[in-house]
Structure 1
C-alpha cells in the first residue's frame, strides 16, 4: 500500500485517538464491497505522519458511528520509507553518426551490413576513385620533374658547360682583336683622306660591339664557373614544394574515398547500395534527414533517456541509482545511474518535463536502441517515517490534514505537513 509521510503531529495531547475513515449521521452497516474498496484505495499510496490512527474524510454533514470507528480508521505505521520517482523513456545510443564521403561520387563497395560490430579505423565502404588515381600519377610525374630541376640547380654547372663558356670568351677576344686592328688601320686612312668619316665610324662601332660581346662572354663564364645563384636555388625549391602539395591533395582525396569507422560501434542502418551516387552534404551528420545521402549509420554505447515531471525533478540527482524495466523484458530489472539532467525543461502536451540521461550498468547485451522502458529513481530513505494511506489526507480551508477521533469518538480535523510520497 503506497503511503505518505507527514511531518506535523496530529494526536491529541491527552490520549491517542483513532482517525475516522468516514461517518454518517445515521448508524448503518457498510456493505462488504466498501471494505474491498478501502483496501484498493490504500494501494494507491502511503503518506508519513505522526499519530495513532487516521481515516477517510467523511462527506460533509456526516458523523462517524461509534460502532464503526475501528472499521473506518487506519493505524499509523512507522517504517523506513525510500523515495521513488517514476519516469518513462526509451533506450538510445550514446553516439550516432551518419557516414558519407567528403566528395560526391559513386559507391564502389560496401563491406558491412546492418547489425555488424566494427572497430575504429575499420574500412566500411569505398567510393570509385579511378579519375583520382590517374591524376595522382600525373602529379607525381610533375613532382619528379621539379625535383630533377632542383638537383641540377643545386649541383651547379657541369664541366662541359664551363668549357663552352671558355670557348665563347676566346672567340669574343679574337673578334675584338680583329675589330680593333681594322679600326686602327682605317683611322690612318681617314687621316690621309683616303676614306670618308662615315666609313671610319662603321669600324669604330664594330670595335665597340666586339668589346661588349667579350665582356658578356666573360661574365657568363664567371657565373657558370661559380654555380647557381641563391635566388635560383630558392625558386627551384619552391617549385618542388608546390608539386609535392598537389600530390598530397590528391592522396588526401583518395584516402577520403575509403570510408572508415570513426569509433567502435554497431552498424544500425545501411542507406546506400553499390553503384549509388552519394553526396557529401551530410557527412558525419546525426540528423534523420541525412539518411537519403548517407552510406550508413553507426552508433556506439547505450543509455536511457527518461522524462521526469517538473514536480519530481527535485528528487533526482546525478549519480542516483535507477531501476529500469523494459517493455520487452517485463520480468527483468536492469540497473543504471543518473548521468546528466537537462538544464532546460520541455513542454509536451502542456506538461512540463525534464530529460534525464541514465547510464546503463547492466543489460547492455539485452537492451536495444529504441526500446521503451519504465525507470524508477531510488532516492533517500526516511528512517522510521510515520505512514498513513494517501486517501486519508484531506483538505479543509486550503490546509492539508487528517481526521482523528477525539475522546467522544467524533472526527476532528488536524492540519499536517506532508513529507515525501
Structure 2
C-alpha cells in the first residue's frame, strides 16, 4: 500500500516538472515571436552608434614572487664533512667557504700526482740526452714527453679536488636549507649540501591575455605593489614574454623586481604588477557583436537611416579591447551599426529597430 502511494507521488512530481518545462518553453517562444512582430514585417534588429572614444589600456595582474637566483648546491668530491661555517638564514657571498670536506685522501692523491710528474720530467730529460747520442728513437722521446703532459694533467685534476674540498658559495644569497652535518659522508654522486637563494632581485610571474600582451615588450618599466607592504612601491622591468600562450590562452610574463635595502620581499609572496600606458588618441569603436560571424570576417551591417535598410560594409578591424573592437577603416563617427539579428539580413533588407 505504502509503495503504491510513493509511486503515485513520484509520477505526480514528474508530471508537474514536465508541465513547468513546457510552460517555460512556451513563454520563450512567445517572447521571440513578439520580438520579431515588433518589426512590423521587417527584420527586428538592435543597433549602436559608432563613436570615437579614448581607450584606457592600463591594467593590473597578480602573481607570485620567485628568486632570481636559486641553487641546490651539490657535492663534487667524496669525503666526510669536517667543518661547517654557515647555518640556515646566514647571508653568504660568492666564493665564501661554507664547509670543508676531510681532504686526507684527496691530499694523498695530489702528492702522488706531484711525484709522478717529477719522475716523468726526469725521464724526459734522460731520454732527451740519450736521443742526442742516438741511444733512443724519436718515438721513445715523444712518448716520454706525452707522459709528462699526462702527469701534469693528473696533478692539475688532483689540485682542483683539493681546492674543492673547501666548499664555496657560487652565488651571493641566503642559506635557505642546510642538508649536512659535521661527520656526514658525502659522495661524488651529488649529495645535496645547501639550498641558496638570492632575494636581492626577485621575479614576479604573471599571466596576461592576448589583448594585453600585444602592448608589452621586454624592458618595459612596471610598478610593483605588495599587499604585505601597502605603503611601499617597488620597481620592476619586463624580462621575459612567452612566445606561446599556455593551455588557458594566457601568456606567461616575468618581471624582474628590485628588492628594498632590507630585502622585505620574499619568494612565495603575492605581488601586483601595475601596467600604465601613455594616454591614447581617440579611436572609432564598435561593439564586438557588430561583426557578421566573427571579428576576422571584417564585415558589419550599417543602418541606412533614410530607407531603414541594412547595408553590408567592409571594414578593417584593429585591436580587440574587451567587448569593443577598434575600427581602422570603413566606418565614420555617427554612423549606426547593427549589433544583433545579422543572421537574417542581406544587402538592402528592411529592418526595424528594437530598443
TM-score range relative to shorter protein = 0.5 to 0.7
Larger Rg, first or second structure (1 or 2): 1
Quick one: distance in 2 between partners of 1:93 and 1:334?
15
Quick one: distance in 1 between partners of 2:269 and 2:136?
74
Is structure 2 residue 96 aligned with structure 1 residue 125? no
SS in 2 for 1:112: coil
Q: Are 2:71 and 2:196, in contact at CA under 8 Å, matched by a contact in 1?
A: yes
The counterpart of 2:123, out of the listed 143, 149, 152, is: 149
SS in 2 for 1:275: coil
SS in 1 for 2:128: helix
Quick one: distance in 2 between partners of 1:418 and 1:139?
76
Which runs of 5 or more structure 2 residues have no equivalent in the other structure?
Answer: 1-33, 36-51, 294-322, 327-355
The counterpart of 2:142, out of the listed 231, 234, 248, is: 234
Q: Are 1:337 and 1:358, in contact at CA under 8 Å, matched by a contact in 2?
A: yes
Structure that is richer in strand per residue: 2
- Deviation at 1:324? 1.6
- Deviation at 1:296? 1.0
Is structure 2 residue 175 aligned with structure 1 residue 267? yes
* TM-score calculated relative to the size of structure 1: 0.49
- Deviation at 1:358? 0.9
The counterpart of 1:101, out of the listed 68, 75, 94, is: 75
SS in 2 for 1:299: strand
Q: Are 1:320 and 1:379, in contact at CA under 8 Å, matched by a contact in 2?
A: no
The counterpart of 2:265, out of the listed 360, 367, 377, is: 367
Which runs of 5 or more structure 1 residues have no equivalent in the other structure?
Answer: 1-59, 62-77, 157-222, 283-292, 388-392, 400-416
1:178-189 alignment to 2 at 5 Å?
none
Quick one: distance in 2 between partners of 1:362 and 1:238?
54
Q: Are 1:327 and 1:371, in contact at CA under 8 Å, matched by a contact in 2?
A: no
Quick one: distance in 1 between partners of 2:148 and 2:105?
23
Structure that is richer in helix per residue: 1
Quick one: distance in 1 between partners of 2:183 and 2:166?
15
1:318-333 alignment to 2 at 5 Å?
318-333=218-233
**Superposition CA RMSD, Å:** 3.9
Quick one: distance in 2 between partners of 1:271 and 1:303?
26
Q: Are 1:334 and 1:362, in contact at CA under 8 Å, matched by a contact in 2?
A: yes
1:22-421 alignment to 2 at 5 Å?
82-156=56-130, 226=133, 228-231=135-138, 232-282=140-190, 293-300=191-198, 301-310=201-210, 312-347=212-247, 351-361=248-258, 363=260, 365-383=263-281, 418=324
Quick one: distance in 2 between partners of 1:397 and 1:227?
97
Quick one: distance in 1 between partners of 2:133 and 2:187?
57
Q: Are 2:101 and 2:166, in contact at CA under 8 Å, matched by a contact in 1?
A: yes
Quick one: distance in 2 between partners of 1:386 and 1:344?
30
The 1:245/1:313 distance shift into structure 2, 3 A limit, reads closer
* TM-score calculated relative to the size of structure 2: 0.57
**Who is 1:167 aligned against?**
none
Give per-residue Cα distances to partners, 1:347-374, cap 9 Å, x unaligned: 3xxx443211112256463322221112
The count of residues paired between Structure 1 and Structure 2 equals 245
SS in 1 for 2:277: strand
Q: Are 1:316 and 1:379, in contact at CA under 8 Å, matched by a contact in 2?
A: no
